[in-house]
Structure 1
């Protein structure tokens, strides 16, 4: 590879990233404003309308960032809503797991709801907004609200590592999502992916390629402790991450 080719690769990734993030900012503002009339509507209707923005993001991921998505294990998704425990590397999974698990509620920081325009729309999606500094009270909020939302027909998506972890690394898996699943009497559906390799948690560059998403078999919670459930989940996710890495290396 020539010197000019070497220097052009990061430049192209940066250009894609700049265009993509500019598109994110513009579209989220526009969509939040055009969603204002939907705020008084019943939750089902306003949820459908507001989350159409995720489809816009998916379009930009494909055609601006140049990133394809490949799914496997979709037949593992239960027919009834439960708890999803997913790998957390990127902003991609916070928006683009929606078509797989619809409708869903996110567990998120309450501060996000205070962001002008964006936070207003987010609040109208009825998420589980917690104060992370509240300790046990925050966990109680997740359990109480999560059980209600599952009973009403919504999936609960939790990122057990708590924060975005760079590709190739693993964070400490926390028990909150597993505890909710045990209390609600529903299985855990694990999800692994390599989104952080293409939409990094830091910086503006977007790397074209393929995000591989693998949905695992549901992990039963009956008769198990939250520690057992989260350990089984972590083992499956990290093994799946190794498979994704090996498959990518073999395809090069």
Structure 2
């Protein structure tokens, strides 16, 4: 039954995405907010499909930590789920994303026109400058900048380094709140996984990081907060919904290496 529900969602997801993009092509000429509306509509419809096909619902906690107006959200990235969920949590998100996504037919054009911040990760120092420039423009427009500091989706239980771009944002905008965000979405919708599992996926917005920290202290603090709370949410989801641990071979290798170090 789970496999059939997952199949239904995948058909709705890919088919619906194509139909929405094609039907909304005329809005490309109507400015950034019109393209942002398309992104919001896609996210709402995908959440609806998740609810009614596989029984996957969202649970957002810590909204009291979200300020009115611009902020920087630093989030764990385990699944496509959080990329679409932020669009239903904050009013005008600006995602920092890899430039390759802009090349996706139609989807990429909507991403570009809606003012997302595309970064060429192979460009080194200039990529960091482009990111700061794009974030500065978005924050001036009263938007919410979203960055995934690990740079890619990571499976539950993983512990990967955070890229320095998150500190560059923190330092460049000392008057903007930087909010850590934990999720357990990978327990329900794994990276590149056909299967989707029912239950309540949690996104938790934590209190903002205090400003004035040096680079080493900031990087340790934000990683500890996000990773620790994420592990707790993963454990809660596994216990509450009897989920498999959707980990990958690299985690098993990592755990084996850690055991060898301690033995």
TM-score of the two chains, using structure 2 as the length reference: 0.85
Q: In 2, Cα distance between the equivalents of 1:208 and 1:202? A: 17
Contact preservation (8 Å) 2:70, 2:139: yes
Q: Distance in 2 between matches of 1:35 and 1:123?
A: 15
State the match for 1:199 in structure 2: 189
* Equivalent in the alignment of 1:63: 52
- Counting matched residue pairs gives 240
Secondary structure in 2 matching 1:52: helix
> Does the residue aligned with 2:87 lie in a helix, a strand or coil?
coil
Selected match of 2:205 from 203, 215, 222? 215
C-alpha displacement at 1:109, in angstroms? 1.6
Q: Tell me whether 241-250 or 40-49 shows the greater mean CA deviation.
A: 241-250
Instruction: Summarize deviations over 1:105-145 as a string: whole Å, max 9, x none.
Output: 11112121111122222222111111111111111111111
Distance (Å, rounded) in 1 between the aligned partners of 2:40 and 2:240: 34
CA contact (8 A) 2:73 2:146 kept: yes
Once the 2 structures are TM-superposed, how far is the Cα of residue 100 of structure 1 from its aligned partner?
A: 1.7
Report what 2:142 is aligned to: 153
**For 2:56 and 2:147, how far apart are their aligned partners in 1?**
24
The aligned residue for residue 133 of structure 1 is 122
Superposed counterparts of 1:91-102, under 5 Å = 91-102=80-91
Q: How far, CA to CA, are the matches of 1:226 and 1:32 in structure 2?
A: 41
**Alignment partner of 1:48 is 2:37:** yes
Q: Displacement, 1:246? A: 4.3
After TM superposition, give the deviation of residue 207 of structure 1 in Å. 1.2
> Hey, what does 1:230 align to over in structure 2?
219
2:101 aligned residue (99, 112, 126): 112
Structure 2 gaps of 5+ residues are 242-263
Describe the superposition over 1:125-169 as per-residue Cα deviations: whole angstroms up to 9, x where unpaired. 111111111111111111111111111111110000111111111
CA distance in 2, matches of 1:53, 1:214: 22
Across the aligned residues of Structure 1 and Structure 2, the Cα RMSD in angstroms comes to 1.7
**Cα shift readout 1:175-208 (whole Å, capped 9, x = no counterpart):** 2123113202212111111101111102201111
Q: TM-score, normalised by structure 1?
A: 0.89
SS state at 1:51 partner: helix
Q: What are the ranges of 5 or more consecutive residues in structure 1 without an aligned counterpart?
A: 1-11
Match of 1:6 in 2: none
What is the CA distance between 1:251 and its match in structure 2? 4.3
Q: Secondary structure at the match of 1:40?
A: helix
